[in-house]
Structure 1
């Protein structure tokens, strides 16, 4: 069984467990997944090829200490449910500190339309 797995492993270019198992099962029976996994763990080339574990990214939360210090703007596509007035998008303005949301309908998703509505919001609450 070792020779069979070895030959297929080399012909697949040091292929992974599932690829080797697929190729072996075309010609041979009773070759287990565990046998293929063990073979790959003993292959020096495959072990050298594996990357070392990468350090995970450190996620830093966005901290706001007062209302309107930081905000987030998202556009929601509502074209499939456009109403009779022609509004196809929703502008979602959210304050990070209080999570307060303002939803504003938009007829089009252009920079000019978004800037106009943001200006209206800034006139109500002030700019962040």
Structure 2
């Protein structure tokens, strides 16, 4: 039995999840063809990676191309958890997060950092799994209702030019109270 995801419960997608995946698909489609396939790992590709990793040396590749098998063996390793083979990233040794579970994984991690923003969420996601692109987190945060409600609305201050009618008609002075921080050069000498 093979699996590529730790989340096995089936949840019906809500509107925010559908919107998330539609924007994520737009992002993936904007990438060059070469990077579309490897930017995210979908369930079918993850299952193929696990099967490629299970191939014995010297055996035929079956339906896989030698290039795919080489890429899978260079990039991923197999981890057996409770008798289930799971693909992990070679560099980070973290479980590969598949495309279909991005919304749930990012949501859980984002809530666990108390809606802490992009960098905290990215760090939390990367500490538990791999292959989650930063734009996926940014897209998720754009649609996170608590974060959008909490974010202050930027109001630009209309600057009004100061027009001076002559020399020394307008002055600006900074007042500093030096009694709270006296300068001491020596024990006996104090400047106030």
Quick check: which one's strand share is greater?
Answer: 1
Relative to the length of structure 2, the TM-score reads 0.34
Relative to the length of structure 1, the TM-score reads 0.50
